[in-house]
Amino acid sequence: MIYKTFVTLNAGYIDPAIVALTSYLRYNAQPGDVCIYAEAGTNCRQLRRALRGYPVEIREVELPQLPEHAHVRNKYGDLFFKRESLPAFAQRIKALEELRDEADIIINLDLDTLTTGGIAPLLPRAERGVILGVSERRNRDRWIRALGVRDIVQNPNYINTGFAIYGADAIPADIFQRYREFLKEHGPDLYCPEQDFINYALADRIVNIPEGYNLMYTSEAYTSAAPVMIHFLGSAKPWNPSTEHPARAAHYLRRYLREAERCRGLVSDEFLERVAEAARLA
């Protein structure tokens, strides 16, 4: 089996990328290589220093600026994602199409994560025809009802793609073109465009995994699960002290601070100060 992990890196996300990837690789130096799709022009010098000795490849890419992005508009969209993130979402789908020909198993993680354990126990469940992820169905149903909006993704296994394991055979060869068509057809009803697409188009291939592999503050298990990966989704990032963080996030904000301090000299001083402030205010 050939394994590859990939991430998509925006130019302004170097500091969180260093924390996310050093913590991930400490516990998961195997299996396989890590492929970083870095936005063209990104200065990756500090990231290369931080990941020296690990099997990492940086591929510089122009993030896709799709005309179909104009269709992704609704009055609540800004609650869930920033419009400038749309090219990075598209790049994730493009990366899946590319990597399906390079590996049997493809692992994708977001860079607003902190890894605290190994994913090795999951790997025997990773097969070429399935997608493994943590369900976000209950949380999605909650806010869909609260906002009174239409949900086009009705499958019971709606997963958060902040951490997902894809079997190569689960990824259509034309997945990027399908994504573009999906944006055009369903744009006004999308709140997490790339994630909605995976759950809509590939629903029959999705298998749920325990919540601790992608632990989100929206989870009812947030204070009881033993996390392998903590996902700081939405605006409540550990480096955003001005955001109102959920009170129960304090423990994980302090854990993030400890990890960021391990990266002192690699991440910026300003980033460290903001992480420390967020942890102090929590």
Is the torsion defined by CA of 237, 242, 247, 251 positive or negative? positive
For residue range 21-40, list pLDDT tens digits in order.
999 999 998 778 999 999 99
pLDDT of residue 233: 85
pLDDT of residue 203: 96
pLDDT of residue 100: 97
pLDDT of residue 130: 96
pLDDT of residue 17: 98
Are the C-beta atoms of 192 and 234 separated by less than 8 Å? no
DSSP, residue by residue, 171-196: S-TTHHHHHHHHHHHHGGG-SSHHHH
Give the list of residues 6+ apart from residue 71 with CB closer than 8 angstroms, or none: 183, 184, 187, 188
pLDDT of residue 29: 80
119, 228, 240 from 27: Cα distances, Å: 8, 9, 26
Full strand arrangement of the beta sheet holding 229-231: 113-115, 229-231, 215-216
Task: Please give the structure tokens belonging to residue 167.
Answer: 């079997």
Query: What are the mean pLDDT values of the chain's consecutive 10-residue runs (282 residues total)?
Result: 95 96 92 93 96 95 97 80 91 98 96 96 90 94 89 92 97 98 94 95 96 88 84 88 78 94 97 95 82
Alpha helices in 28-169 (DSSP H): 45-50, 86-99, 137-147
Are the C-beta atoms of 259 and 19 separated by less than 8 Å? yes
pLDDT of residue 243: 74
Give the list of residues 6+ apart from residue 131 with CB closer than 8 angstroms, or none: 159, 164, 165, 166, 167, 170, 198, 202, 205, 206, 207
Are the C-beta atoms of 197 and 93 separated by less than 8 Å? yes
Measured distance CA(3)–CA(106) in Å, rounded: 6
For residue range 99-111, list pLDDT tens digits in order.
999 999 999 999 9
Task: Please give the structure tokens belonging to residue 96.
Answer: 């899946």
242, 266, 275 from 269: Cα distances, Å: 17, 9, 10
pLDDT of residue 246: 73
pLDDT of residue 98: 98
Question: What are the backbone angles phi and psi of residue 121, rounded to the nearest 5°?
Answer: -60, -20
pTM for this predicted structure = 0.95
238 upstream amide cis, omega within 30 of 0: no
pLDDT of residue 18: 98
